[in-house]
Structures are given as structure tokens and as C-alpha cells.
């Protein structure tokens, strides 16, 4: 039974994963072309401007999966495959879980591609950068900061995916105003955490006494964000299984 469920989950995952190939290719091609263009047009210290397209591409790599989240779930109604899915022994957790994993895969692939491509360009342009950083700063601490920030970004994007799922399913409960309700619920879910618990909101001016405390705060933020995300995902699964009807 467990093996068959895993096989079904894997089939759902790969089915939706094929839909995200275009977005990953867009990010990869745009990253290669833009960074190579900047690298070719500059020389010396001016090549540090590579960071500008790198930051913009990181934003693109984060934005595209959010757009995909609306397309993946909305497609089930648009192509009328929702009726087939609900007639099969596929739970809401399996259905939404596979889509969440696909979106997370797209985010990880896009951001890691941008990070790797831009890092290679920077290290080729400045071969003494790593030794210089090692002399001037604690390299291990810098890596810990980068890892904690990346983990926080993953938690934030998972929360946005959960917001997308819940808002779309709430919209489907009211077909006549589906689009409006989806938009309103999505915006409310974005605003609500900061209003309900402002002390947990992301705040760069958090009064930490040292960098280690800042890293600790980032991990606390990451954990709280994931809890909120899982609660929204659980609500989405409940609506899928109890309220969405054939």
C-alpha cells in the first residue's frame, strides 16, 4: 500500500514537474546571457557590477514559481482534470503535496542556478576574492549567514505557495466571484502574519547584540514561517477533501 502511494505521488510529481521546465530554462538562459554580457562589457573592478543582474535574477527565480503555483492548480479546473483527480484514490495531501514539492524544486533549481553562474563569474573575475575574505572576515560565519538566509527564503516561498493554494481553493468555493475572492484571500494571508504577530515579522533592525544572535533570529523566523505555511497547507487540504465537490 505504501509503495503504491509513493508511486502515485511520484507520478503526480513528475507530471507537474514537466510543466515547470520552461520557467527553469528561462531563468538559466537569462542568467547565462545577462551575466556573460556584463562580464564581456566590463573589466577589472567594474566587473563587480555582475551582482546587479544576479540580484535581479534571484528575484525572477523567486517570482516565477509563485506564478506557476496559480497556473498548476488553476489548470486542474481549466482542463477539467479536477474531476478525474477527485474520482481517483488521491488524497488532498498527496495532490497538494506533490504540487508544493514541484514548486519548491523550481525555486531551488532557479536560485541555485543563478547563484552558481554568478559565483563562477565573480570568482573568475576576482581570483583573490576568497583568500582576501578569509583574511578579513570569518569565512565559516559568512557561510552560516548565507545558509540561514537561504533557509529563510525557502520558508518564505513555501508560505507563499501555501497562500496561493488556500486562496485559490477558497475562490473555487464561490464560482461566481472566484477571481476576486482568490485575490482578496491571497492579500489577506500576506498581510495577516505581520498584523497578528508583529514581533515575529521580518525586521532588519532586530536588536541583536551580535551576529550569532542575528543568525538565531533568522532561524526562529524560518521556523515560525514554516509553521504558518503548514497550517495554511493543512487548511487547503481540508477544503480540498471536504468542501470541493465534483
Nearest in space to 229 (alpha carbons), one of 95, 97, 91, 62: 97
Rounded to 10 degrees, what is the CA torsion of 185, 190, 196, 202? Answer: 170
pLDDT for residue 3: 66
Return the ∠ at Cα 6 (arms to 5 and 11), rounded to 5°: 95
10 pLDDT band (50/70/90 cuts)?
Answer: confident
pLDDT for residue 204: 46
Average model confidence (pLDDT) across the chain:
83
Residue with cell 529563510: 152
Cell of 157: 516561498
Q: Name every residue whose Cβ is closer than 8 Å to that of residue 85 and which is 6 or more positions away in sequence.
A: 76, 95
- The pLDDT tens digits of the residues spanning 87-109 come to 667 787 888 999 999 999 999 99
Cell of 2: 505504501
111 pLDDT band (50/70/90 cuts)?
Answer: very high
pLDDT for residue 74: 81
- The pLDDT tens digits of the residues spanning 27-68 come to 889 888 998 888 888 877 787 888 888 889 999 999 999 999
Share of the chain above pLDDT 90, in %: 35
pLDDT for residue 7: 83
Amino acid at each position: 500500500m505504501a509503495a503504491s502511494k509513493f508511486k502515485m505521488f511520484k507520478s503526480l510529481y513528475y507530471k507537474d514537474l514537466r510543466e515547470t521546465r520552461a520557467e527553469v530554462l528561462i531563468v538559466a538562459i537569462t542568467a547565462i546571457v545577462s551575466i556573460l554580457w556584463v562580464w564581456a562589457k566590463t573589466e577589472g573592478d567594474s566587473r563587480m557590477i555582475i551582482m546587479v543582474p544576479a540580484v535581479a535574477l534571484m528575484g525572477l527565480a523567486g517570482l516565477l514559481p509563485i506564478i506557476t503555483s496559480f497556473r498548476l492548480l488553476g489548470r486542474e479546473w481549466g482542463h477539467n482534470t479536477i474531476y478525474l483527480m477527485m474520482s481517483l484514490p488521491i488524497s488532498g495531501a498527496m495532490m497538494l503535496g506533490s504540487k508544493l514539492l514541484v514548486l519548491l524544486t523550481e525555486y531551488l533549481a532557479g536560485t541555485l542556478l543563478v547563484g552558481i553562474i554568478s559565483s563562477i563569474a565573480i570568482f573568475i573575475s576576482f581570483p583573490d576574492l576568497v583568500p582576501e575574505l578569509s583574511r578579513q572576515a570569518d569565512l565559516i560565519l559568512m557561510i552560516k549567514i548565507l545558509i540561514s538566509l537561504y533557509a529563510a527564503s525557502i520558508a518564505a516561498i513555501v508560505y507563499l505557495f501555501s497562500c496561493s493554494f488556500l486562496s485559490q481553493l477558497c475562490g473555487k468555493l464561490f464560482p461566481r466571484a472566484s477571481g476576486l475572492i482568490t485575490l482578496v484571500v491571497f492579500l489577506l494571508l500576506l498581510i495577516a502574519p505581520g498584523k497578528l504577530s508583529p514581533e515575529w515579522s521580518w525586521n532588519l533592525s532586530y536588536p541583536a547584540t551580535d551576529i550569532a544572535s542575528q543568525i538565531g533570529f533568522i532561524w526562529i523566523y524560518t521556523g515560525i514561517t514554516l509553521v504558518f505555511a503548514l497550517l495554511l497547507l493543512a487548511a487547503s487540504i481540508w477544503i480540498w477533501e471536504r468542501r470541493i465537490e465534483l
